[in-house]
Amino acid sequence: MSLSVHLRQLGSPQRVLLHDLQLEVPPGHILTLMGPSGSGKSSLLAAIAGTLDVLSAGQLHFDGQVRLDGQDLSHTPAARRGIGLLFQDDLLFAHLTVAENLLFAVPPGPRDQRLAAVEHALAEAGLTGLGARDPATLSGGQRARVALMRALLARPRALLMDEPFSRLDAALRAQFRPFVFGHLRQRRIPALLVTHDVADIAEADRVLAIGIPTASGPADA
């Protein structure tokens, strides 16, 4: 599964944020997007996920194409794109338990299988036995892992991450980053990561600078 984006223009009638951008993310690859604040990185993720209208309250418009394995998703609603999102905040739903947050993401099917998927995800995240807990009682690192597992349980065909590590301290970031990247590579999910952290860039496959006069290239270039 590969993700490709051909952007002609992104912005409002008053201000163009991005134009003439093309990017290709092969299966299991992680492309980091970096650039100054306000350069349109988060808006680009929203446009790819199909949530630009919701997140910009209809202010921004995307002119371009989003393809997953060649399939044009430009007119597919967000809920049917199969593109997962991870934000800076974990956004665990406060009215649901940890397990219910995970169950929310599991596609429809026999209840036993759905619950088994949740238990498996909890185990993978090292959170066995914590499913009935209030998410507010988890540590920052635990919450971040639940958020990732929730995104993965929806079986995304691509994952978009908007500074998902920035709220974690350095030690937790160092643990969580390989955890996330490992899962994505193992499941061959193409991913875009918006970040300001050079450590993220170093461990990603490629880097694309937006709004800075530099060319894109391999992360280790």
Partner 1 sequence: MHRLPRLAAATALLLVVALPLVATTALALAALADAAGWQALVQDPRVPRALGLSLWTGLASTVLAWWGTAALLAQASVRGSLQRMARSLPVLLATPHAAFAIGLAFLLAPGGWVLRSLSPWLTGLDTPPHWPTTQDPWGLGLIATLVAKEIPFLLWAAATQWQREDLRARWRAEQALATTLGYGPRRAWWRVVWPQLAPRLHWPLLAVLAYGLTVVDLALVIGPASPPTLAVLAWQGLQDADPVANAQGAAAGGVLALAVGLAALASHRLIGGPRAGRLDGERAARQTPRTGWPPGLLLLAGLYALVLLALAAGSVAGQWTFPAFWPQTLSLNAWRSVAGSSGSLWTTLALGIGSTTLALAWSVAWLELAPRRWDRAVRPLLYLPLALPAVLWVVGLYGLVLPLRIEGHWSGLLLAHTLMVLPYVLLSLSPAYQGFDPRCAALAASLGRAGWPFLLQVKWPLLRQSLAASAAVGLAVSVAQYLPTLYVGAGRFATVTTEAVTLASGAQRALTSAYAGLQFLLPVLGFALAARIGRPRRFTVAPP
For residues 53 and 124, which CB has a smaller minimum distance to partner 1 in the complex? Answer: 53
Cα dihedral 76, 79, 81, 86 in deg (nearest 10): 140
- CA pair distance 155, 105, nearest whole angstrom: 9
Tell me the closest approach of the beta carbon of residue 47 to partner 1, in angstroms. Answer: 11
Residue 128 makes contact with partner 1 by CB under 8 A: no
Residue 97 makes contact with partner 1 by CB under 8 A: yes
Considering only 21, 87, 172, 187, the residue that binds partner 1 (CB under 8 A) is 87
Residue 221 makes contact with partner 1 by CB under 8 A: no
Tell me the closest approach of the beta carbon of residue 143 to partner 1, in angstroms. Answer: 13
Residues that bind partner 1 (CB under 8 A): 46, 49-51, 53-55, 57-58, 77-85, 87, 89, 91, 93-95, 97, 104-105, 107, 132-134, 137, 150-151, 154, 156, 160
